[in-house]
Structure formats: C-alpha cells, structure tokens
Chain A
Amino acid sequence: MQKPRRWCAGHAQEQADRCLGCGNPYCEWKCPVHNYIPNWLKLVTEGRLFEAADLSHQTNSLPEVCGRVCPQDRLCEGACTLNSDGFGEVGGGFGAVTIGQIEKYISEEAFKQGWRPDMSHVVATGKKVAVIGAGPAGLGCADVLARNGVKPVVFDRYDEIGGLLTFGIPEFKMEKWVMTRRREVLEGMGVEFRLNTDIGKDVSIETLLQDYDAVFMGMGTYTYMKGGFPGEDLPGVLEALPFLISNVRKCLDLMKPEEAYQDMKGQRVVVLGGGDTAMDCNRTSIRQDAASVICAYRRDEANMPGSKREVGNAKEEGVQFLWNRQPVEIVGDGKVEGVKLVTTELGPPDARGRRTPVVVPGSEEIIPADRVIVAFGFRPNPQPWFEAHQRRHGARFRPGGDRRL
C-alpha cells in the first residue's frame, strides 16, 4: 500500500527549501506543462501559500491531480539537479526535492484554508462554449475559458466529472473526493456541467454547433491497442480500461445492473504491458485478492515506459515481473489457460531512441493464467459524426491525447 504520509507546513517548507534555484530549472523544463516549479517552491518556503496556489494554477488546471498521479520520478523529480549526478543519471544524488508532494500540499492546504481561484477581475464576454468530455482536457478547457470570461458548458456521458481521472485511475492512487471538490471549485467559477449526457445520443452535435459559439471536443482515448496475436478473443482476456473502470464504478457504488464486474478474486492474473495503466491493473488485481499477478513486458526494466515509482509500488505489493518477455499467443480451450511468451533481447535503438526488442529463438514458455489483461496503450476513438463535421468546420483532430490547450 502507498504509505499515507501526513504533510505539515513545516515538512513542506523544509522540502521546498532544499531547492537550489538552478539557473537552468530542469524540473520546469521537463514538466510537460512547464509549471513554475522553483517559483512556487520558493513561495512555499516563505509560507506564502495562496500565492503558490495562484501560481500553480497559472500553468495547470488540476494541480491537485498532477501532484498525486504524475510520474514525477521520470519528469520533474527525475530531472531535479539534486536527484542526479552531473549527467542527469538517476541515483547517486542527494534525492530530488519532493515536488509532487509539495504540489499536492499547496492545493490541499490552500483549499483547506479557503483559497479559491480569484475571478474578481474577470470580465464576461457573453460568449459560451460547449465542451464535450469532462476529462482532464475538457476540464482544462473549461477552466481557461471561465478565467477568460467565456461561459463553458461541459457535457459528459458519465455521472461524475473527471473522465479517466475518476473512472480510470484506481482509488488507491487518487481519492475520488478530489474530483468532487474540483467540481465544486469549477462550478464556483461559473462552469456548468451536464452529466449523464452522451453527445450523439442524448444531444446531437448539430444542436451544440447551433447553440454555442464554439464546441471543444476532449473525448479521450478509449480505443485500446491490440497485440495482434492468436487467442486475444478468448473469454478471460480483458482490456485494461473497462477492467479499471468497472472496478472504480463498483467501489463507488455506481454499477448499473447491466454492467459487468470483473472480479479477480482467486484468479491467476497475467498483465501484459509496461506502462502506468499496466501498473494500475496489477495493483487493482492485487487488491481484488487475485491468487497471483504476473506482469510481462517485452523490454527490460530500464527501458519500460511506466514510472519507476509505480513499478516499485507494484513489486512491494507482490506483483511478479517478467522482463524481456513478449506474448505471442494466449492459449486455452474455450477460455484462457495460459500465455505463451518468448524471451527478447534489446536490439539497436529505433528512430525515437528506444531500443527495439528482438526475439531469442527457441525461448517459448507458457505461463498458466485464468485472466489476461492487455494494457498496450490507447488511441483516440473517433465518433461516427466526426467525418461529416470535420470537413465542414475544418476542425483538426489531434491523436495522442494532447491535453494542453
């Protein structure tokens, strides 16, 4: 289990004060949204909490979420000068400033003390925008619009905001009340939510285009990538996202009668993949009392995409890792009975600098399994009405879940 750690002002200040204030702030450079990290660390050191909260909201609409779920160890904290030796290698350093914890502390403590985004200077423009999807992209959009005097109305098919933040990320990584509170904060800023509303079903896209000055689509990446090997359709083979979502919905007591719950109790689980979603599946399975959880990944530990911290957590909780293993088939008669894996070696780096795994001949083995969870990554899931409107409005769809506005 993640160790619950109580953070007091003293502790946060002590950590923040460790920041060297580098001339090249590698943390800020590495951060995908370029948070002004050294600046808010300094504010925390000086006990200027509300200013820190203002500043951290300047570059990020959901800092309390990033503080909890960002893979800081390969972003800001990984890049922290104190974390690395002279050449940016992890380890051997002083230990990074605990930036993620401080980011979380800023929001939590500020909210607790009554801080809210300052909207006093906002001048209403009279414009309104429909935002499809209450996931991170939609919420970020709504936040920025509201701060700029545009009225956002956010539609989502689920009954709570957050999208995958709420339904994809397991509760042990982020408490669900975090999004509930953010909903209140956003509503306080004038954001309107219309939940349980599926665009294309409950409301047509034409209606939105007619009623609003603009429509923003932030509908997520739910199409999962397949391995393309035999046996993927066998009963007992699960996609990562539906598995995680059903788990959260069960935990939140939101399950509708027609929804299926995938229970791992007593099952031998094999998770395929090495990203953070795979780690979530691993750790959720453990919590559902699986008999065993094995995670197989085709590269070695150093080359996996997921956060090292999450791998560490999973190991600590009893997940067994098989590195350099590539699945070639899911075997079983009418249901899953095992996964056939081959051993790989790392070949030369590809164009992006990642080393491609090469199969070692004659290394096949079968790992017995009752359930296989496939977590190979996701792609945008275009809606049927995209095609028609794409041409008409000249909109462009950017795959890859670019959440920055």
Chain B
Amino acid sequence: MHMEPWDGPAGIVLTDGRYAACTLDRNGLRPARWVLTKDRILTIASEVGVWQIDPANVERKGRVKPGQMIAADLDTGRLLMPEDIDNELKGTHPYREWLKTNHQKLFNVSFEERDQIIRVLAEDGAEAIGSMGDDTPMAVLSQKVRSPFDYLRQQFAQVTNPPIDPIREAIVMSLNTAFGPERNLFEESPAHAHRVEVHTPLLSKEAFDKLLNLNDPAFAAATLDLQYDPATTSLEAALKALTARAVETVQSGKVILVLSDRNLGKDRLPIHALFAVGAVHHALIAAGLRCNANIVIETGTVRDPHHYACLIGYGATAIYPYLAYQVIGEFVKTGEIKPNLDKALSNFRKGMDKGIYKVLSKMGISLVASYRGAQLFEGVGLHESVVDLCLKGTVSRISGANFDDFESDQKLLHKAAFNPLRPLSAGGLLKFMFGEEFHAYNPDVVQQLQKAVKSGDYAEFKKYSELVDTRPVAMLRDLMKLKAGATPIPLEEVEPVESILKRFDSAGMSLGALSPEAHEALAEAMNRIGGRSNSGEGGEDPKRYGTSKTSKIKQIASGRFGVTATYLVNAEVLQIKIAQGAKPGEGGQLPGDKVSVMIAGLRHCKPGTPLISPPPHHDIYSIEDLAQLIFDLKQVNPDALVSVKLVAEPGVGTIAAGVAKAYADLITISGYDGGTGASPLASVLGLSEAQQVLRANGLRGRVRVQTDGGLKTGLDVVKAAILGAESFGFGTGPMVALGCKYLRICHLNNCATGVATQNEVLRRDHFIGLPEMVVNYFKFVAEETRELMASLGIRQLTDLIGRTDLLDVSAGDTPRQGRLNLAALLSQGSTPADAPRFSQQERNPSFDKGELAEQMVVDALAAIKASTPIELRYAVKNVNRSIGARLSGEIAKAHGGKGLPDDSIRIQLTGSAGQSLGVWNHKGLTITLEGDANDYVGKARLSATPACTARRRANSTPQAWAASASACATPARWRWWKASATTAANT
C-alpha cells in the first residue's frame, strides 16, 4: 500500500511463508488470472486453462487487476481479495488515535474547512475554486479566533518583476528539497554530495519516519516539543526558551531539528507553528548556525497551501502536516471520499504542491529553495514584539495583536478542545454562517440593498447604509471616524449629484464572467449617470460600440482576449490590469462552460476551451516595459486616458510613482482580496501609501487616483476621498443591485440570478436586473456622499481629497484593535500642505510626442478615409516607437473591425525601428522595414505582420511576432538592459 505505483510491466508472485501473494504493476500490462477450486487449490497464471480443471470443481475465479494484489493466508486458508488487503493494511494504522477530535478543535479545524478545503484537496488533488473573494474582516479586526497565518498576506510580483506562469512555465519550477548541512559553495568535498533529497517539502508519513531514522550522524535528528504550561510561563517566554533549546541542540551536532505540536496535553498549550518556526529560524541565524540544521515542522496547523507557504517562507525545510492526514484518514474510513487512503493523501500533497507552485509563481520565483526563508509576506495587524521575535524583517505597518492576544486565542481553543460536549465548529469563514465570522455582504445587507434599489426609495437605502456603516469593525476604515465638530453647510451648497456621479466607475468584470444582459445593463446604467463602466478582459460585442451599451473603460489584461485596434479606439479610458484584487499575481480564469460561441467569438478563440490568462503580461517585465505599453495605447487612441490597475501591497506607493512617471493618466489601487469588489481589506493601506508617495515625489498633480476596494456607501466614498482617491470604482455593489445574491458560484456557470452565467435559460428567465436599479444605487451613494460633505462643511469633493485631518482613529472593540496604530496611514510626513492633493491636469502626456507617427497620419489620413491605396516611405530611428499604431487606430476609427482591404496602406521603412513596431496592426496596413527593429514587433496585431527585410526575411505566419521579436529584438534587449543598468548607476 505504501509502495509508489510502479510501472512494470511485471506480475510478482511472492511469499513470506505465511502469505502467498501475487501483485501486478499499475498498468496491468502483465495479466494474472486465478482459479480457486473447491478442494482449496489456488492457481494463478498469466492465462486461464494452464491445466485442466473440472468446471464443477471451481469455487471462485477472477483476475488480478492493475495495481492490485491478492493473497492466500496459508495459516487460515483464507483467500484475501484486494479490498481485504487494503482493509487489513488500513487497520494497522493508528486510526483510533487519529480519530480524536480534540486535536482538530485545538487547531481550530471547522466542519467547513474539512468539507470545503481538506476534502477537496484529498479528492481532486487541487485547490477548491471559489468566487467573489473574501468579505470577512481582516484577522486582526475579527472577533473570532483566527489563525496567525491569516495575519500574513502573500506578496506578489507587480510591475517590478514578472510573475511566472505556473502552468505554461511549469518546467522551470521545482519543489526539490535537500536535507543536511549547507556547505561552503567554494569548496568541493564528498560531504557536499551527502544530502537527502525529497521532491516536495510536504512530507508523507513514510518520508517523515524515514527522515527521523536515517541512522547517519550527518542527519542526526532531535525533536523539540512545542507545548508549554501556561500556568508557569507565557507564550513569549516559552518561545524564547524554545529558541535557546534549538540553538543548544544544533550546537550539540543535531541536523534535523523537528518542532512538533503533536503531543497535546490538558494543561499545556501549543506554540503556534508559525511563531515556532520563525523564532527558531531567526535564533539560528543570530547564532550563526542556520546552515548547519534543517527545521522540520510536525504540525496540526497546516491544512491549506497558504499555511504551507508561510512556514516555508519563514524557514521550514519541510512540513509534516499530521492533522490534515488524520482528517483525510477519517474521510476514507467513513467513506466520505472515494479514493483510498494512499491516493487521498497523495492527492492532498499534490494539491498543496500545486498551491505552493502558484504562491511561488506569483512572486516570480521558480524554486522552493529560493522561497524558503524569503519572508515574502506582509504582516497585517501584528505587534512589533511578535514581528521582532518570530518574523523579523517582515513589513508590518500598523502594529496589532501581541503575544497575549495569540495566547488568549489559543486558550479559547484549548478550552473547547478539552470540552467533550463542544462539537467541531461549523465554520463560517468561506460562507456566511449565523453566529460565526462576520461577512460584509451578509444576507441582511444584500436583501436590504436590493429592496432599496428596486423600490427607488432613499429611506430604504439609508437602512442599508446604516447596516453597513454600523457593522462590527471589519475593515480598517471602520476604525476611522469622520471628525465631529465641523460646521455643517446647507445641502444645496454642496456640488450636485451629477458631478459626483462622474467620479464613479464600475470595476472590471468581463463579459464571459457576467452574462451579456448583466454586462450591458451595467454599461447602460453607468453611461446614463455619466460614470464609466469597465469592459473587463475579454472584449466587447462591436454592436455595442457607439451605443448607450458601450463600456467607456476598455481593459487590457494579460490574456489580451479581444484586444484589437477597434476595441481600443472605442474607449474613453484604456485600463491596463496589472493585478486584480481577488487573486493578485494570477490571471483571470474563465471556465470552459462559460466560453459560449458568442464569448469565444469576441475573444477570438474556440468555444468550450477554458481561458486562463497568464499571471504576467508577457510584454511587461519591468516598469519601462509598462511605460512602453502605455505609449502603445496612447498611440492607437490618443483621445483615451490610460489607466493602470494595481493591487495594494507594501511598496505599491513606489510602483504608483513609477506608473505616474511612465505617463499613465490614472492609477487604480485595488484592495487585496477584493474579489469582485467584496472587501477592501488592505486598500486603505495601499491608497494611503500611494497618496503619500505620490505627493512626496511631486507626482500627485499629474495623475488621477482611483480606489476600488469594496465601496458600499456614501461614507465609504467620503473616507476614500479623504485618504486620497478622486475617483471610485464599485464592483459588488452594482452587481447586487442587478440581482446578485452573493451565492459565490460564479465559476459554475450556474448562477441562479442569471448575473454570472452564460446559460441561456438562466439568463432569459432569471435575470431581473435593470439599469434603473444600478442608477438608483449610484444616485443614492452620491446623495449620501453629499449629505456627509454638507455635515463636514465641504462644498466640493476636491476639497475633501487627501484631507486626512478630517478623520479620527477610534480605539475599536477588542484589545488587539486598540493596539493598532493607524496614525501612519493618516500622516502626510514632511510633505508641504500646499503640495497637490489631487490631479491638477486632465492628462499626463508623454514626453515622446510621436512626431513621425503624427506625420504619417497627416500623410495617410485622406487615403484611409477614402479607402484608396497608398504607399509611403520613411526613415526610422530607434526613438520612433510604436510606429504604425496611430495609423491602425485611424483605420479602426474610420472602418471598424473590418478595416481596409489588404495592402491598402503600405509603409516602407528604412533604419532601426523603435520598440513596438506595428503594434495593434489593423487590417489593411502593411509595414515593411528594411533594417532592424527593437522589442515587440507586431505585438497584438490583428493582421499584416510587419516585415523586416534585409537581415531578416519577411514573414507573415502567426509566429511572426515571436520569431522576429526573438530574432531581431534580443540584441536590442541586451543593449537595453545595459543601458538601464548604466542609468541606475548614474542616479
């Protein structure tokens, strides 16, 4: 049973004296048939009929199937069938011990987590897919016991470096993990090769047992117990004692240092694995011993890939997640899941490994060895004392829970764990559950909002905003109150609803994710109120262009689905989606079921194919690349504003500054975990950081800043403005207004409200949304914003932006909320008060005026409009970037998607072309270059590849871009890297 599946082909017949057995390889390439006669003779052979048996004498017969074993017990005369053998083996595991639920209660496993997370991993070997993000309070604000892992947010690559695509670039990734001391890289010795290697740091029981019993001083193991007696010591003191013991143990020559929380006791509390691993890791570094030992953690706390990533990220070499295995053992035993124990456990590991591959890839890291100890997390709500001892060096900006808080959490769990009457908790983190964790879009909120927008009754909306604004503290902004004591002004003196509505956008949700009806209703509503809707990634039906149903914001995401010159010229704003709140560092995903004929047509792909956008934009590997894409967009549609959507994480301010310098006109800061706009967990952090950095660097006046983190009410808008936003994106709110009931089944194409499905019947019979409902929603929000402005004595929304002095920080409801320090978020540092707080200019024009491109338009425009063929010749230099894009834009504007007949506009170029030659190339435009070109030749073109002659042959196959990009662009890229290095050195 614990054998790895072996390929064979072979049948093995074996005996140990008592049992005679036959087993087959997993493919069953070697047949084995058996016959048992009534006189108890068992025959197994590769064919039947190897000798004559009287059919009347046959008791049973059959064949051994692939991977199975049958055996005869010669003592009892019993024939053991494959399932008997499995059962016998199963019976030898210590399930009785495993089945105790107090371990599960002690480590806060809930029914929900078992059912929705562990079970899915064990059954499918992949993480569960969910929808609509997370709308629960961030851990430090929660009134429930939350895992310390929840206080850590994974960082992800955003502009500064590219994520890896864990699906398409899987080949470069590895989880191989080696045990044994790390030796001097510059010496060579046999000892260097003396290491034990496993292919994943998530150990099976067998691997774990073996590792501890290697019988080799190079891998001498010692186990340190993580339990302590709270009556005599505290969590902090216990941690310090642990680190001292760890240092001693390593000094004494032990190499494999096992930290275990398995040995629970009625009077003892476990040190959480995260704290233990982090503290030991840092203590060993401080003692200069880190390379001599491996930390292996045997823990009940690891049940999902985030837990796994946290422990590796804070220095664990390997993890043995015994409690997850126990839960899976229970599933197998009760028949709750179909796979046998071995399969289920290996599924679990496979799913967890896939999960950690994703975590690595989001950060652009290919080997787990590079991730180990890299601490690529942001602490949200962790006190300095905890960070200093256990997570040293981790960014944690607002302080928060200290060791006392975590100890009191563990005491609560411990009490429940040793009370046999308390059942396992029901859960409630993923789905709303009465009496459990708070959810921002709970049934009361959803139903009250729907009542308000349907009736159009502002009094009903006030009930809704009352529900939202007086909820238990769930978001950081709930701790910020509007300062009392301002002199109110009459409501009439506040700027009108209409001018506030112009600042509202809907967040990008693709046609594909949403039903066409919902997508169009949303667009129509936004157009009606004078705001802007966002197409999302995935194109837009050309029939909607120029009508009231068009989305004024067109999104450019990593998959580039449906991004054509025509799409781009039919926009007021072009938004580059660098990351999205629901899954930062990952691309959008559209399940195959949702890729209908219509959707596939718009996305230029085949119906039924799952569409998974890559995590990176394959043309953005640095901020300079992003600047180039912004320029490409400004060239194809000079009238549009270019916006860049970022997700809040530490350093987002610096990235925003870079984006402003790259001439984006708009920056959107999205909340981490926002989902389809559900919860703005960290958007407050991100928004305030962006505001601070942009102002400090004199860039704030050049760009507009938008936030789209779970805004729900007028109060949210006012607070967001105070923190620095001048434009506001809404995701879930308008969805709910259209009938979404927050079912979180968007990915199943099964949405009962017809909002997030492509199913014809659901769309036709069950979608009841009307643009009026969305219009009502936004009018209500705007009206409420005005009322609050009046109460603050503010006439113009711009007078509110960046006025952090209008906010007071409240102490919160729990001790750890009281320990949060939000002052830093509101501080403006040494930035002078008169530095701009909001955008002072309509757009942020590039230094590059694109003179050559403009000249080409002057020369060709008449021919384009008249559809007359023309041939033009120009000399190019490498400063002439995105050549062709302006013409393609003009062709798309004049002739739409069908463009012009082939070769209508022929451009002959000589010289070295700048980047993005022939980008967005539209039908009818042919560019021929004699000379060479830089990166991105023919990027995202619809037709007519630019041809490079002379040193490069003309080429019109679809691979042209790749071919020419690699062929002619690689040397350029090399030069470019060097150039950028020089610049950096000079500044």
- Does B740 contact A86, Cβ atoms closer than 8 Å? yes
A184 within 8 A of B: no
Instruction: Report how far A24 CA is from B626 CA in the complex, Å.
Output: 39
- Does B443 contact A48, Cβ atoms closer than 8 Å? no
B residues near A25, Cβ cutoff 8 Å: 431-433
Q: Out of A21, A46, A149, name the residue touching B336 (CB < 8 Å).
A: A46
List which A1-28 residues lie within 8 A (CB) of chain B.
20-26, 28
- Does B421 contact A88, Cβ atoms closer than 8 Å? no
- Does A123 contact B420, Cβ atoms closer than 8 Å? yes
B656 to chain A, nearest CB (A): 32
Instruction: Report how far A147 CA is from B423 CA in the complex, Å.
Output: 12
A residues near B766, Cβ cutoff 8 Å: 85-86, 93
A346 to chain B, nearest CB (A): 17
Given the known A-B contacts A46-B336, A147-B421, are A86 and B767 also in contact in the complex, defined by CB atoms under 8 Å?
A: yes
B807 within 8 A of A: no
Of A34-42, A102-110, A175-183, A318-326, the segment with at least 4 beta carbons within 8 Å of chain B is A34-42
Q: Out of B454, B738, B741, B754, name the residue touching A24 (CB < 8 Å).
A: B741
- Does A86 contact B754, Cβ atoms closer than 8 Å? yes
Q: Which residue from chain A places its CB closest to the CB of B447 in the assembled complex?
A: A88
Q: Mark A67-106, 1 if CB is under 8 A from B, else 0.
A: 0000000000001011001111000011000000000000
Given the known A-B contacts A20-B750, A39-B426, A42-B115, are A34 and B434 also in contact in the complex, defined by CB atoms under 8 Å?
A: yes
Q: Out of A20, A22, A36, A93, name the residue touching B426 (CB < 8 Å).
A: A36
Q: Which residue from chain B places its CB closest to the CB of A87 in the assembled complex?
A: B450
Q: Which residue from chain A places its CB closest to the CB of B132 in the assembled complex?
A: A23
- Does B768 contact A86, Cβ atoms closer than 8 Å? yes
Instruction: Report how far A86 CA is from B739 CA in the complex, Å.
Output: 4
A99 to chain B, nearest CB (A): 16
Instruction: Report how far A114 CA is from B447 CA in the complex, Å.
Output: 42
A29 within 8 A of B: yes
B755 to chain A, nearest CB (A): 8
Instruction: Report how far A86 CA is from B740 CA in the complex, Å.
Output: 7
Q: Which residue from chain A places its CB closest to the CB of B767 in the assembled complex?
A: A86
Instruction: Report how far A375 CA is from B658 CA in the complex, Å.
Output: 74
B769 within 8 A of A: yes
- Does B752 contact A81, Cβ atoms closer than 8 Å? yes
B residues near A22, Cβ cutoff 8 Å: 431, 741-745
A122 within 8 A of B: yes
- Does B434 contact A29, Cβ atoms closer than 8 Å? yes
List which B711-770 residues lie within 8 A (CB) of chain A.
738-745, 750, 752-755, 766-769
A288 within 8 A of B: no
Q: Mark A339-375, 1 if CB is under 8 A from B, else 0.
A: 0000000000000000000000000000000000000
Given the known A-B contacts A34-B434, A88-B447, are A24 and B439 also in contact in the complex, defined by CB atoms under 8 Å?
A: yes
Q: Out of A48, A81, A88, name the residue touching B334 (CB < 8 Å).
A: A48
- Does B450 contact A86, Cβ atoms closer than 8 Å? yes
B503 within 8 A of A: no
- Does B426 contact A87, Cβ atoms closer than 8 Å? no
Instruction: Report how far A58 CA is from B430 CA in the complex, Å.
Output: 21
B877 within 8 A of A: no
Instruction: Report how far A76 CA is from B743 CA in the complex, Å.
Output: 16
- Does A23 contact B745, Cβ atoms closer than 8 Å? yes
B residues near A26, Cβ cutoff 8 Å: 443, 741
A396 within 8 A of B: no
List which B124-140 residues lie within 8 A (CB) of chain A.
131-132
What is the total of A-B residue contacts with beta carbons within 8 Å? 100
Q: Mark A282-302, 1 if CB is under 8 A from B, else 0.
A: 000000000000000000000
- Does A81 contact B432, Cβ atoms closer than 8 Å? no
- Does A88 contact B768, Cβ atoms closer than 8 Å? no
B211 within 8 A of A: no
A96 to chain B, nearest CB (A): 11
A residues near B745, Cβ cutoff 8 Å: 20-23
A residues near B752, Cβ cutoff 8 Å: 20, 81-82, 93-94
Q: Mark B440-466, 1 if CB is under 8 A from A, else 0.
A: 011110110011001000000000000
A121 within 8 A of B: yes
- Does B334 contact A20, Cβ atoms closer than 8 Å? no
A390 within 8 A of B: no
Q: Out of A23, A87, A88, A94, name the residue touching B744 (CB < 8 Å).
A: A23
Q: Which residue from chain A places its CB closest to the CB of B743 in the assembled complex?
A: A22
Instruction: Report how far A36 CA is from B436 CA in the complex, Å.
Output: 12
- Does A87 contact B434, Cβ atoms closer than 8 Å? no
Instruction: Report how far A86 CA is from B741 CA in the complex, Å.
Output: 7
List which A116-173 residues lie within 8 A (CB) of chain B.
121-123, 147-149
A residues near B131, Cβ cutoff 8 Å: 23
- Does B421 contact A28, Cβ atoms closer than 8 Å? no
Instruction: Report how far A36 CA is from B454 CA in the complex, Å.
Output: 30
Q: Mark A252-281, 1 if CB is under 8 A from B, else 0.
A: 000000000000000000000000000000
A residues near B744, Cβ cutoff 8 Å: 22-24
B545 within 8 A of A: no
Instruction: Report how far A36 CA is from B738 CA in the complex, Å.
Output: 28
- Does B421 contact A148, Cβ atoms closer than 8 Å? yes
- Does B111 contact A39, Cβ atoms closer than 8 Å? yes
Q: Out of A23, A34, A36, A147, name the residue touching B742 (CB < 8 Å).
A: A23
A residues near B115, Cβ cutoff 8 Å: 39, 42
A43 to chain B, nearest CB (A): 9
Q: Out of B132, B336, B434, B769, name the residue touching A28 (CB < 8 Å).
A: B434
Q: Mark A50-61, 1 if CB is under 8 A from B, else 0.
A: 010000001000
Instruction: Report how far A82 CA is from B432 CA in the complex, Å.
Output: 18
B435 within 8 A of A: yes
- Does A48 contact B767, Cβ atoms closer than 8 Å? no
Q: Which residue from chain A places its CB closest to the CB of B753 in the assembled complex?
A: A86
Instruction: Report how far A232 CA is from B744 CA in the complex, Å.
Output: 55
Given the known A-B contacts A86-B769, A87-B451, are A24 and B421 also in contact in the complex, defined by CB atoms under 8 Å?
A: no
Instruction: Report how far A39 CA is from B741 CA in the complex, Å.
Output: 19
Instruction: Report how far A86 CA is from B441 CA in the complex, Å.
Output: 15
Instruction: Report how far A323 CA is from B446 CA in the complex, Å.
Output: 33
List which A205-258 residues lie within 8 A (CB) of chain B.
none
Q: Which residue from chain A places its CB closest to the CB of B135 in the assembled complex?
A: A23
A354 to chain B, nearest CB (A): 15
- Does A149 contact B421, Cβ atoms closer than 8 Å? yes
A residues near B442, Cβ cutoff 8 Å: 24, 29
Instruction: Report how far A36 CA is from B433 CA in the complex, Å.
Output: 8
Q: Which residue from chain A places its CB closest to the CB of B443 in the assembled complex?
A: A29
A299 to chain B, nearest CB (A): 20
- Does B336 contact A24, Cβ atoms closer than 8 Å? no
B761 to chain A, nearest CB (A): 10
A13 to chain B, nearest CB (A): 15
B residues near A85, Cβ cutoff 8 Å: 739, 753, 766, 768
Instruction: Report how far A46 CA is from B131 CA in the complex, Å.
Output: 24
- Does A23 contact B421, Cβ atoms closer than 8 Å? no
- Does B432 contact A88, Cβ atoms closer than 8 Å? no
Instruction: Report how far A354 CA is from B90 CA in the complex, Å.
Output: 61
Q: Out of A36, A42, A82, A121, name the residue touching B421 (CB < 8 Å).
A: A121
Instruction: Report how far A25 CA is from B434 CA in the complex, Å.
Output: 9
Given the known A-B contacts A48-B334, A81-B752, A86-B768, are A28 and B433 also in contact in the complex, defined by CB atoms under 8 Å?
A: yes
Instruction: Report how far A26 CA is from B131 CA in the complex, Å.
Output: 17
B residues near A81, Cβ cutoff 8 Å: 741, 743, 752-753
25 A-B pairs in the complex with CB atoms less than 8 angstroms apart: A20-B743, A20-B745, A22-B431, A22-B742, A23-B430, A23-B744, A24-B439, A24-B446, A25-B432, A25-B433, A26-B443, A29-B434, A29-B443, A30-B443, A39-B115, A48-B336, A79-B443, A86-B739, A86-B768, A87-B450, A87-B739, A93-B752, A122-B421, A123-B420, A147-B421
The 5 lowest CB-CB distance pairs between A and B, nearest first, are A86-B739, A23-B744, A34-B434, A121-B420, A22-B743
Q: Other than the known A22-B741, A38-B431, what 5 A-B pairs have Cβ atoms closer than 8 Å?
A: A20-B743, A20-B752, A24-B431, A46-B336, A93-B752
Q: List A residues at the B interface (Cβ < 8 Å).
A: 20-26, 28-30, 34, 36, 38-39, 42, 46, 48, 51, 58, 79, 81-82, 85-88, 93-94, 121-123, 147-149
